Amino acid sequence: MKKLQGAHLRKPITPDLLMTPSDQGDVDLDVDFAADRGNWTGKLDFLLSCIGYCVGLGNVWRFPYRAYTNGGGAFLVPYFLMLAICGIPLFFLELSLGQFSSLGPLAVWKISPLFKGAGAAMLLIVGLVAIYYNMIIAYVLFYLFASLTSDLPWEHCGNWWNTELCLEHRGSKDGNGALPLNLTCTVSPSEEYWSRYVLHIQGSQGIGSPGEIRWNLCLCLLLAWVIVFLCILKGVKSSGKVVYFTATFPYLILLMLLVRGVTLPGAWKGIQFYLTPQFHHLLSSKVWIEAALQIFYSLGVGFGGLLTFASYNTFHQNIYRDTFIVTLGNAITSILAGFAIFSVLGYMSQELGVPVDQVAKAGPGLAFVVYPQAMTMLPLSPFWSFLFFFMLLTLGLDSQFAFLETIVTAVTDEFPYYLRPKKVVFSGLICVAMYLMGLILTTDGGMYWLVLLDDYSASFGLMVVVITTCLAVTRVYGEKSRGRQSRALCSGRTGVYPRAPQYLGPWSQGPGFPVGAAGGGEGLLALVGPAGGAIPPPLPCAGIQRFCRDIHMMLGFKPGLYFRACWLFLSPATLLALLVYSIVKYQPSEYGSYRFPPWAELLGILMGLLSCLMIPAGMLVAVLREEGSFWERLQQASRPAMDWGPSLEENRTGMYVATLAGSQSPKPLMVHMRKYGGITSFENTAIEVDREIAEEEESMM
């Protein structure tokens, strides 16, 4: 025995389990790896993509209207409070999940296959939204091309689409500033241009009889999909470059419109109407609900876009800083957009001699009727009209990039070996399919279908998805991983976690230090714990603690009490209140004076319920795939997959050691030391995290 031990000391042996693939030479690991997933190629790609995704059409045509109808400047109080309670924490949560795993909305549920239905629900929601959102971009393109004239086509009456009610509402004041005509019985040229020429809605009897396809809208929709496809052709490598223009240029145009607006006569009248605080509105629950809804939909939480973008980050990207930059930047942009819009509306109300509230609208009514009409009252009206619609185009394209990238990434991550090498073809097929499904929106009655999709596709279903995600992360995240016991091959024991403070010792000496040189296989014992003692199971703790520990591993610090309190209680409770409110205050869809028939309402409700039903359906599938009793199946389905964790081996420490397919070393820090020649601050963080795990294990002994 002594001879054998002496021979071992004379020639240190590195166990195969501790060797990296490069140490073992040309060894066939029998593992086929998919094509490279890709990453952002520039430092600002991710940040600008998130800004472009969040700052969209809603900042221009929804926030200003919601602000003035819910207390003006007083609305900012619940707005920023809801931003702190819901917006920032949920934004950071989704970014953290994506960056930690480098996976899309479907594959990220390796964390707990029981909740994979939430990922499928995300895809359904974002798919429905992408179909009608690109139709809005098609409308913007239509107006953009129509602005390339010396006289805007919606400036005058007398065209074939105008009726006898058409009246040019401009410059018709008398000496006292009062209008000699009653405008309530008339229609502006811009309104008839939108409804009777662009939509040709008079050719439809309702949602049940959509009428014929409008070839000009059909071509605009085709162009919109071609633009989107070309920009996502190479995934984030191409879209990450496009956003340098599409995410920044709208701010230049918005600044130009703001400067032009505030210099118009009557502009202060609109701004005063926009921001005059009416604090008695704060006593109404409706105001707080409206603020939460604006934050929820403006930041795009729950659609999977944030998770997808973060999945292309490097493991240590500072998403904590990026969270505050994007969320606060989004809020400030909404406020600035309100100044730009209401300054022009104030000028318009003075020109027409009517109160501001009679010209202020929200949604498409603002973008395609009121603001275009205001442009006709300005000198160089085609120029300002072109700038306005070009701003809307760039705002809309950024969000559409995110929607398509979310769908493509989610499916290719689920089937990487088949689809990732053919991602371009798959992206093209998705665009073609969605274009064909969106053709009904180009018909005479297409606006009815667009309103139905807008009202139901991302309503209560999206809230259920986000609530489910919060509960899964805070309650279930990081349960003992199934199959991970088999990775403790070096000991033959059933422990889950390697004992970090013990196995880090020899390798902290520097690269090339012979493992086991301390004698008698001590390096191997350092991996499996003290001789004769099995590694204890992990301390049972809430999912939020494990989630914070993983963020610590990734960013170098743990989220504070503010984030933990919001994730555990405040954010889910607020979303639950929103869900209950939306159900209690349910109102049937309508467009103008048209009321949707009962079958259309039922179709919309089923559309929202389908995304909700995907969650229990996914749970059923996950449970049926397991073995044992129902409770055992449920437990197994709620545990992470064996390969859950950081995508790169050098980032996998502690409980994530040697859980990748083909992994040859349970010590990823060796990769770092071979690569960089030492231990970085992030490796020190990993050591600290592993030490916390070991201390919890020892407390259980």
- Note the pLDDT tens digit of each residue in 39-85: 898 889 999 999 999 998 888 888 888 888 888 888 999 999 999 99
Q: Tell me the average pLDDT of the chain.
A: 80
Tell me: pLDDT of 266 over 80.
Answer: yes
206 by DSSP, 3-state: which? strand
Higher pLDDT, 93 or 478: 93
Q: Which residues contact 88 (CB under 8 A, 6 or more apart)?
A: 323, 324, 327, 566
Structure tokens that stand for 351 in this block: 């020109």
Structure tokens that stand for 104 in this block: 């899309």
d(CA 104, CA 590): 36
Tell me: pLDDT of 660 over 60.
Answer: no
d(CA 254, CA 16): 62
d(CA 667, CA 262): 62
Structure tokens that stand for 200 in this block: 């040709």
Q: Which residues of 260-284 are buried (b: 16+ CB within 10 A; e: fewer)?
A: bbbebebbebbbebbbeeeeebbee
Higher pLDDT, 13 or 331: 331
pLDDT tens readout for residues 173-228: 444 444 444 556 778 898 899 999 999 999 998 899 888 999 999 999 999 999 99
pLDDT tens readout for residues 526-539: 333 333 344 344 44
- 529 backbone φψ class: left, alpha, beta (φ>0; ψ -120 to 50): left
Tell me what pLDDT residue 481 has: 52
* Partner residues linked to 206 by β-bridges: 209
d(CA 386, CA 144): 6
Could you please report the per-residue DSSP string of 102-121? T--TTGGGGG-GGGHHHHHH
Tell me what pLDDT residue 521 has: 37
Choose the weakest-confidence range: 2-6, 92-96, 438-442.
Answer: 2-6
pLDDT tens readout for residues 115-173: 999 999 999 999 999 999 999 999 999 999 999 998 899 988 888 998 888 888 665 44
d(CA 451, CA 471): 31
Nearest to 653 by CA among 694, 623, 609, 616: 694
d(CA 554, CA 548): 10
- First CA to last CA distance, the chain: 33
Tell me what pLDDT residue 480 has: 59
pLDDT band at 412 (very low <50, low <70, confident <90, very high): very high
Q: Are 541 and 470 in contact (CB under 8 A)?
A: no
DSSP H/E element including 64: helix 63-69
Q: Whose structure tokens read 């902290």?
A: 508
d(CA 311, CA 104): 7
pLDDT tens readout for residues 342-365: 898 888 888 878 888 777 777 788
Choose the weakest-confidence range: 11-25, 477-491, 530-544.
Answer: 11-25
Tell me what pLDDT residue 700 has: 53
> Among residues of the chain, what percentage have pLDDT more than 70?
77
pLDDT band at 569 (very low <50, low <70, confident <90, very high): very high
